[in-house]
Amino acid sequence: MLTASFGPGRMTGSDRGADMAPASASPVRRIALVGPGWRSLVRLRGDLIAALIERRHRVLCLAPSGQSPNCDFAQRLEALGAECTSFPFEPDRFRPLADGRTVIALARRLAGWRAHVVLGYQPKPMLLGALAGRRARVARVVTLVSALGPELGGADPPQWPWRPLLRAGFAASHQVVFHNHADVQRLRALDLLPEKAAVTVVPGAGVDLERHAAQPLPPANRGITFLMLASLQREKGVLAFCAAARQVRAWRPDARFILAGPQGTGLGAVSSAELADYAGCIEVRGDHDDVRPLFAEAHVVVLPSVREGMARTLLEALANGRPVITTNVPGCRETVDELVNGILVPPQDADALAAAMQHLIERRTLLKQMALASRRKAERLFDVRHVNGALMAAMGVN
């Protein structure tokens, strides 16, 4: 296991007073987080950023240019005490010249800010961030693999240019953090993650158990409500949820189905025309900054995803005290104790999903017991304070 090694000479003159805590405290570190956007940095890493700043560390958040650093989400990061800046980035395609310029620009920002630690997440930001961190001679480069999407080998082995980029990014990292053990095994089987790489596994981004407190289940006398909360992407299983809803509604017209989340992007986006085919079966609610009112409406949370790192929606569902139906795949199966707090189904199987929904409708008296089991599982395994503690250890800070 590699340990943090912070060399001397990074702070001189007037900088030293600003970057050093009293002798009795841990030294203040400059920690740069490279992410795919301000919204993601707030929603997925906001608790980590707040915990670092609470410990008097300095935090720089970097997001792709084209996303204004004056937007609401960036302002929320600044309200926490973080600094925000952007970097040139083309998210959709790999372009060696453009991505090379991104690495150089990021390295200059990291060196100019005198970062001690850089942590990147999401495929291209994490890999380019790692290369930039090594180029800038940042003392601790941490790569966070939040999920194995199609480009990272979640389904098929990655091809050029992802394969050499993955190898280079992991080679530049002092620590690689995963959200589940299956992703570690997958990348090692594909000969992309070096055997000697220092690896940490944490259960997702965790969940704030105070903000997401257990909520009572709504009355069931008017039917059972199923909620799917995810970005509108095919790989999230949106169309499987819609097809299953149609089947169940034919049998139980009083069942409700709510689909909420931001619009999808890229080739995997589910179109409005596709959703319109299910207008009589599902309620499409759009994106929500605060998802707790949605959980309050639901009896069961559904996520039929093809693969996750560790699905945040499911962690929040557990914390709010909701039974879950999800797929038996990495990043989802870890949230379910079968028939204790939820049900696992095969991915891309609308029939099996509908059968699981029907099972819970027929046994609705078990929902309260399953809801309690979900909350207890969240308390036992997914408390954000424990997750952030493990992340900070991987980053070499406390």
How many C-alpha atoms does 92 have within 13 Å on its Cβ side? 4
Given a contact cutoff of 8 angstroms between Cβ atoms, the answer to whether 319 and 336 are in contact is: no
150-191 pLDDT per residue, tens: 667 666 777 777 888 899 999 999 999 999 999 999 999 999
Q: Are residues 151 and 277 in the same domain?
A: no
pLDDT in tens, 299-341: 999 999 998 999 999 999 999 999 999 999 999 999 999 999 9
Global confidence as pTM: 0.88
Q: 91, 65 in Cβ contact below 8 A?
A: no
Residue-averaged pLDDT of the chain: 89
Average pLDDT for 229-241:
96
Give domain status of residue 7, yes or no.
no
Q: Do 107 and 29 belong to one domain? A: yes
Residue 84 has a pLDDT of 95
| pLDDT above 50 for 62 | yes
In a domain, 4, yes or no: no
Reported confidence tier of residue 3, pLDDT bands at 50, 70, 90? very low
50 occurs within a structural domain: yes
Identify whether residues 174 and 300 lie together within a single domain.
no
Domain presence at residue 93: yes
**54 and 101 both lie in a single domain:** yes
* Residue 194 sits in the same domain as residue 261: no
Let me know if residue 212 belongs to a domain.
Answer: no
Assess whether 273 and 317 both reside in one domain: yes
Same domain as 360, residue 341: yes
Give the residue numbers spanning the domain of 184. 14-206+384-395
Return the beta strands (E) in 218-364 as ranges: 225-229, 256-260, 283-286, 300-303, 324-327, 342-345
Q: List the one residue out of 272, 274, 314, 310 whose CA is nearest residue 291.
A: 314
Contacts 24+ apart (CB under 8 A), 267-273: 268/233, 268/234, 268/235, 269/232, 269/233, 269/234, 270/232, 270/233, 270/234, 270/238, 270/239
Is residue 211 situated within a structural domain?
no
For residue 24, the tally of other CB atoms under 10 A from its CB is 5
Asked if 275 and 157 sit in the same domain, the reply is no
**Which of residues 372 and 25 earns the better pLDDT score?**
372
Inter-residue contact 100 to 118 (CB < 8 Å):
no
* Contacts of residue 216, Cβ cutoff 8 Å, sequence gap at least 6: 321
On the question of pLDDT at 7 being above 60, the answer is no
Phi, psi (deg, nearest 5) at residue 85: -150, 165
Q: Which residue has the higher pLDDT, 184 or 9?
A: 184
pLDDT > 70 fraction of the chain, expressed in percent and rounded: 90
Residue 9 counted as domain residue: no
pLDDT value at position 55? 95
Are 241 and 304 in contact, with CB atoms under 8 Å apart?
yes
Q: Are residues 110 and 234 in the same domain?
A: no
Q: What is the CATH number of the domain that holds 181?
A: 3.40.50.2000
pLDDT of 94 > 90? The answer is no
Residue 289 lies in a domain: yes
Residues 341 and 278 in one domain: yes
250 and 348 part of one domain: yes
Could you give the CA distance from residue 26 to residue 116 in angstroms, rounded to a whole number? 14
Counting the structural domains of the chain, the total is: 2
pLDDT value at position 96?
Answer: 79
Neighbours of 383 (CB within 10 A): 19
49 plus 136 within the same structural domain: yes
